[in-house]
Amino acid sequence: MSTDGSPGKNKRKNKKKPGVLNPSLGVQLLLLLDMYIRLTLWVAAMSVTLLVMTRTQAVRTLSWDSLMTFGQAWTFAHVLTQFILLFNVAYLLALVVLRTITPRPSRGFYKLRGIPNINLLFSGLSGILTKARYQAPFPAFLVQQIGNIQPFRWLLGLRVGPRTKTSFFLDPALMDPWAVTIGKNVNIGFGTTLTAHIQEHDYVMVDPIVIEDDVMIGAHSLIACGVHIKRGAYVEPFAVVKPGEVIGEGELWAGRPAMKKGYYRFTPSGGNGGDRTEQTSGTLQATGQ
Residue 3: inside a domain:
no
Please give the residue that has the higher pLDDT: either 142 or 30.
142
Residue 155 is predicted with a pLDDT of 93
User: Residues 6 or more apart from 202 whose CB is under 8 A from it?
Assistant: 20, 111, 112, 113
Residue in 200, 218, 210, 228 with CA at minimum distance from that of residue 256: 218
Q: Are 276 and 221 contained in the same domain?
A: yes
| CATH code of 197's domain | 2.160.10.10
Omega before 116 within 30 of 0, i.e. cis: no
Return d(Cα 20, Cα 52) in angstroms, integer.
51
Q: Are 137 and 189 contained in the same domain?
A: no
pLDDT tens for each residue of 145-159: 999 999 999 999 998
Average confidence (pLDDT) over 80-92: 95
Q: Are 169 and 149 contained in the same domain?
A: no
Structure pTM? 0.80
Return d(Cα 36, Cα 43) in angstroms, integer.
10
Given a contact cutoff of 8 angstroms between Cβ atoms, the answer to whether 92 and 147 are in contact is yes
261: pLDDT strictly greater than 80: yes
Return d(Cα 275, Cα 252) in angstroms, integer.
12
Average confidence (pLDDT) over 244-267: 90
Q: Are 169 and 239 contained in the same domain?
A: yes
Q: Are 153 and 216 contained in the same domain?
A: no
Average confidence (pLDDT) over 67-93: 89
Residue 265 is predicted with a pLDDT of 67
pLDDT tens for each residue of 198-254: 988 788 899 999 999 999 999 999 999 999 999 999 999 999 999 999 999 999 999
Residue 17 is predicted with a pLDDT of 53
Reported confidence tier of residue 67, pLDDT bands at 50, 70, 90: confident
Q: Are 173 and 155 contained in the same domain?
A: no
Reported confidence tier of residue 270, pLDDT bands at 50, 70, 90: very low
Q: Among the three residues 105, 125, 160, which one is the final residue of a domain in this structure? A: 160
Residue 230: inside a domain:
yes
Q: Are 149 and 197 contained in the same domain?
A: no
Range with the largest mean pLDDT of 18-27, 87-96, 163-172: 87-96
- What's the mean per-residue pLDDT of the chain? 84
Q: Are 137 and 225 contained in the same domain?
A: no
277: pLDDT strictly greater than 90: no
Q: Are 140 and 179 contained in the same domain?
A: no
Q: Among the three residues 131, 160, 189, which one is the final residue of a domain in this structure? A: 160
Q: Among the three residues 160, 187, 210, which one is the final residue of a domain in this structure? A: 160
Residue 11: inside a domain:
no
Q: Are 117 and 230 contained in the same domain?
A: no
Residue 8: inside a domain:
no
Residue 202: inside a domain:
yes
Q: Which domain holds residue 247?
A: 165-289
Total of domains in the chain: 2
Q: Are 67 and 190 contained in the same domain?
A: no
Average confidence (pLDDT) over 153-166: 92
Residue 281 is predicted with a pLDDT of 38
1: pLDDT strictly greater than 70: no
Residue 70 is predicted with a pLDDT of 86
pLDDT tens for each residue of 16-30: 555 555 667 777 888
Residue 43 is predicted with a pLDDT of 97
Q: Are 221 and 246 contained in the same domain?
A: yes
284: pLDDT strictly greater than 60: no
